[in-house]
């Protein structure tokens, strides 16, 4: 296991004037309602991604900012709802007004090289606030640009691409589908290889709605952890789990749970170590939630090209004392049970709950939330300069520090392929977390 704390690297970024990039040709002017999964309160925020690209001699003197800007106008002809603006209707129902106003784009230069970021690129990254497009007045989902992109040229001839996309419009799979299409247009394609599908009505509540499952993810809970997270400075760190680390964790798995996946083993491990490090009240409930892609659960299946949210967020609960003191199998069984709970009926029940409860946000108190992006494909997005050296989420969520972890595919300094898990905890707690993790990996 290797881990990385944020480096002390600093650099300057010169941003050009922000632009609105509209679709290259006229697009339908219409209002398109979002699904009952899309418009829940917990998804009404921007998801940032960062992509590091090295210089490619085969691209000659082509300017990545110009190439991507031109491709953006072309791809928005197909993804024209992303060039619109969200408005709110009756009962907090969100819809996209397809105005064609465009998406935010910033061209920039930084006085830094890729090499200065280190041999292996793992989050968190320094100075991300300078690399992410963040224009005053562009916050808040109603009436704001739904996609915000910055392309920053580097001294070495490489560049950093960042995108911030409202989660309400698409999940990780949908965001990658859009970015892959942008990359294809940047390389000269006349249309995306996967054409976008809207059809948000496929994920709407039944009439009348029927909530058939308990959904603790949306239940109000008493928070016992915020005071812990608020104490002192946070350490935002990434840990690499390669073949050796996963083999060590699998040795802790009892025979009756050997069918567990890599995600289940790793998530159970991190939830347990994190809880031990935070030292909550032993009698207090602690919660784990994780995003599950449900595209394959429907019959007929969700169409290829659907880029809306097709996810649910099951929640499992344990007494803190049980998670900390019982064998590792306790945590693992809970994770496996939570994942197996997700069926087509569970997804339908979630949609119906949205309508019955007024589109609530999932609750984050005393909760650890994991997003598995290892197979989503951010690392495959290619604008013509080749696949990125690293692509994924840049750092911890400032609004909810220490709550989210994300898993991304990556390599370590030895070139071994594995998973990078990003974790943030108070500095005073991080040392305990690392100690617990080392004990499990022995």
pLDDT tens, 225-283? 545 555 568 899 999 999 999 999 999 999 999 999 999 999 999 999 999 999 999 99
Number of alpha carbons in the 13 Å side-chain half-sphere of residue 33: 12
Q: Dihedral sign for Cα 400, 403, 404, 410, please.
A: positive
Beta pairing, strands 367-372 & 404-411: parallel
Express each pLDDT in 294-321 by its tens digit. Answer: 999 988 899 999 999 999 999 999 999 9
Residue 195 has pLDDT above 60, yes or no: yes
Residue 139 has pLDDT above 80, yes or no: no
Q: What percent of the chain shows pLDDT beyond 90?
A: 85
Average pLDDT of the chain is 93
Whose CA is closest to 173, among 191, 189, 194?
194
Instruction: Label residues 177-196 b or e (16+ Cβ within 10 Å = b).
Output: bbbbbbbbbbeeeeebebeb
Tokens 């709605």: give the residue: 209
Question: Does the pTM of the predicted model rise above 0.85?
Answer: yes
Asked if 23 and 100 touch (Cβ cutoff 8 Å), the reply is yes
- The pLDDT, as a whole number, for residue 7 is 61
Instruction: Give 97 or 361, the one with higher predicted confidence.
Output: 97
- 89-105 mean pLDDT: 95
Express each pLDDT in 162-172 by its tens digit. Answer: 999 999 999 99
What are the beta bridge partners of residue 49? Answer: 163
pLDDT grade for 401, boundaries at 50, 70 and 90 = confident
By annotation, the residues acting in catalysis are 167, 382
**Residue 76 to residue 70: CA distance in whole angstroms:** 10
- The pLDDT, as a whole number, for residue 433 is 97
pLDDT grade for 138, boundaries at 50, 70 and 90 = low
Across the beta sheet with 31-33, what order do the strands follow? Answer: 31-33, 94-97, 85-88
Residue 131 has pLDDT above 90, yes or no: yes
Lowest mean pLDDT among 134-138, 310-314, 410-414: 134-138
pLDDT grade for 222, boundaries at 50, 70 and 90 = low
- DSSP string for 184-230: HHHTT-SS-SS--B--GGGGPPPSS----S--GGGS----SSHHHHT
- The pLDDT, as a whole number, for residue 205 is 96
What are the beta bridge partners of residue 50? Answer: 162, 392
Quote the distance between the C-alpha of residue 183 and its chain's center.
19
Angle at 85 between CA 81 and CA 90, to 5 degrees: 105
Give the helix/strand (H/E) hosting 429.
helix 427-441
Angle at 177 between CA 14 and CA 26, to 5 degrees: 75
């Amino acid at each position: 296991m290797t881990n990385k704390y944020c480096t002390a690297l600093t650099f300057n970024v010169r941003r050009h004037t922000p632009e609105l990039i509209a679709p290259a040709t006229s697009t339908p002017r219409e209002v398109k309602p979002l699904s009952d999964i899309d418009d829940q309160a917990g998804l009404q925020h921007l998801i940032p991604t960062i992509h590091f690209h090295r210089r490619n001699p085969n691209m000659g003197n082509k300017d990545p900012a110009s190439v991507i800007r031109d491709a953006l106008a072309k791809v928005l002809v197909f993804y024209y709802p992303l060039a619109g603006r969200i408005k709110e209707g009756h009962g907090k129902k969100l819809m996209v007004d397809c105005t064609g106003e465009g998406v935010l784009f910033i061209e920039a230069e930084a006085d830094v090289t890729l090499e200065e970021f280190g041999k292996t690129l793992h989050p968190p990254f320094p100075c991300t606030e300078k690399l992410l497009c963040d224009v005053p007045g562009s916050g808040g989902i109603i009436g704001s640009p739904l996609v915000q992109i910055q392309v920053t040229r580097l001294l070495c001839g490489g560049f950093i691409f960042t995108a911030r996309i409202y989660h309400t419009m698409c999940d990780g799979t949908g965001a990658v589908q859009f970015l892959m299409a942008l990359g294809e247009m940047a390389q000269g394609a006349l249309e995306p290889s996967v054409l976008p599908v809207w059809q948000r009505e496929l994920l709407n509540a039944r009439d009348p709605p029927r909530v058939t499952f308990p959904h603790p993810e949306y239940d109000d809970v008493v928070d016992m952890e915020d005071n812990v997270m608020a104490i002192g400075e946070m350490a935002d760190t990434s840990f690499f789990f390669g073949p050796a680390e996963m083999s060590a964790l699998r040795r802790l798995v009892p025979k009756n749970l050997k069918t567990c996946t890599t995600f289940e083993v790793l998530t159970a491990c991190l939830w347990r170590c994190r809880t031990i490090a935070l030292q909550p009240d032993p009698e207090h409930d602690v919660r784990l939630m994780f995003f599950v892609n449900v595209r394959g659960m429907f019959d007929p299946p969700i169409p290829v090209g659907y880029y809306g949210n097709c996810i649910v967020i099951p929640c499992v609960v344990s007494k803190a004392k049980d998670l900390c003191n019982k064998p590792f199998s306790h945590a693992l069984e809970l994770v496996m049970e939570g994942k197996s709970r997700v069926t087509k009926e569970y997804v339908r029940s979630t949609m119906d709950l949205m309508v019955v409860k007024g589109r609530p946000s999932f609750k984050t108190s005393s909760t650890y939330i994991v997003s598995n992006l290892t197979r989503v494909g951010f690392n495959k997005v290619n604008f013509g300069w080749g696949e990125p050296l690293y692509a994924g989420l840049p750092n911890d969520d400032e609004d909810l520090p220490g709550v989210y972890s994300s898993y991304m595919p990556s390599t370590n300094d030895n070139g071994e392929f594995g998973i990078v898990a990003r974790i943030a905890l108070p500095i005073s707690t991080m040392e305990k977390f690392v100690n617990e993790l080392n004990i499990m990996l022995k």
